[in-house]
Chains A and B, each alone.
Chain A
């Protein structure tokens, strides 16, 4: 079924159609929550809360970009989690998640040493994201990891285009500075800027 048909059916009360939408977007939602919260358990809770809230709110969805609408609910769920916990533990990412991540980063012919380096690099990027203020982190994750356009990010974060550009510029620069502090683990072509 086309997405618009699934949305209309969901608004009429068809739970199966709504769950089809869940299947389509749960990976994006979960990844946003994971990059925002830094912990898989928190990300699961936030993702579940996102789809629960979306199910209750979908009768009021008036068209437009459904992905942006859903990610906005996810961003709000993450904000609620962060506000409740008031801390971010990127180092608490358990080994299972890190292994799953690093396997996706790995090249086919990678040596064990390169595998370990790539694993640590992934960890540093997560820690770098954690060092950003929440509003900069959300924009960097949405734009550079999730691949949303400036306009879509503005919709998700309910901010102006100028604000998105400013936060993205500062977030990227701040992340760059953080990564340069750990230059010994970065790819050679990156280390020269230290």
Chain B
């Protein structure tokens, strides 16, 4: 007479039977399953039926290939090997786009502008009637008769003071717009190339390349 096995134990053992069939259980698991099977005819039937199913599947034959799937010597070669740069398009576009976002964000948040205020001596040196414009500073930025460039709020039409932007600060941000423009152009160009390459690949994939496939 078989003693009644808890349903939970049977459920757990049945989940292990597939691995048990394939000898993929640990020694401990294998022992536990075999011990359970000794006293549980329901689980033994479960194991036997699974084993029969696997045996039937093992008898499913490998059907011969209906034809050769060898590729013809045509477009796939040109696309695969004449455009090795295509594989670099996506990461290059992503990097350019990230740099563009970084510089745009930095420009909006003014993180590229130096935070250090000039000393009184430095401010006197930079007075328009005395100082030569720095080589990398546009000549009209600090012209005496011209209005100051629009910068932080309130500074556009104020006379020069120690707190107003110095040539170094203006120089620090003057390079930003050209960089942003260049990155924008780069992203557009790379993105366009990527779209074109993808379209071309899909166009070939839709065509039937192998001559054996054609009627």
A1-58 with Cβ < 8 A to chain B = 13, 15, 18-19, 22-23, 26-31, 34-35, 40, 44, 47-52, 55-56, 58
Say yes or no for B85: interface residue by CB 8 A criterion: no
Whether the pair B71, A125 counts as a contact (CB closer than 8 A) is no
Whether the pair A51, B57 counts as a contact (CB closer than 8 A) is no
CB distance from A178 to the nearest CB of B (A): 9
If over half of A's interface residues share one DSSP class (helix, strand or loop), that class is named, otherwise mixed; here it is: helix
If over half of B's interface residues share one DSSP class (helix, strand or loop), that class is named, otherwise mixed; here it is: helix
Number of interface residues of B (CB under 8 A): 44
Whether the pair B80, A144 counts as a contact (CB closer than 8 A) is no
Whether the pair A15, B71 counts as a contact (CB closer than 8 A) is yes
Closest to A104 in B: B61
Chain A residues lying within 8 Å of B67, measured Cβ to Cβ, are: 44
Chain A residues lying within 8 Å of B27, measured Cβ to Cβ, are: none
CB distance from A64 to the nearest CB of B (A): 19
Chain A residues lying within 8 Å of B205, measured Cβ to Cβ, are: 49, 52
Whether the pair A125, B87 counts as a contact (CB closer than 8 A) is no
Say yes or no for B65: interface residue by CB 8 A criterion: yes
Q: Given A100-B63, A100-B64, A193-B52, are A144 and B57 neighbors across the interface (CB < 8 Å)? A: yes
Q: Given A145-B57, A176-B49, are A30 and B63 neighbors across the interface (CB < 8 Å)? A: yes
Q: Given A18-B71, A169-B17, are A97 and B60 neighbors across the interface (CB < 8 Å)? A: no
CB distance from B72 to the nearest CB of A (A): 9
CB distance from B171 to the nearest CB of A (A): 45
Q: What are 27 A-to-B residue pairs whose CB atoms are below 8 Å?
A: A15-B71, A15-B76, A15-B77, A19-B71, A23-B70, A26-B65, A30-B63, A30-B66, A31-B62, A31-B63, A44-B66, A48-B213, A49-B205, A52-B205, A58-B80, A122-B60, A125-B56, A125-B57, A140-B57, A165-B24, A168-B18, A175-B53, A175-B57, A176-B52, A190-B56, A193-B45, A193-B52
Give chain A's interface residues, CB within 8 Å of chain B.
13, 15, 18-19, 22-23, 26-31, 34-35, 40, 44, 47-52, 55-56, 58-60, 97, 100-101, 104-105, 121-122, 125, 140, 144-145, 150, 165, 168-169, 172-173, 175-176, 179-180, 187, 189-190, 193
Known contacts A15-B76, A52-B205, then 7 further A-B pairs from the complex at CB < 8 Å, ordered by chain A residue: A40-B66, A44-B66, A44-B213, A47-B65, A48-B213, A55-B80, A58-B80
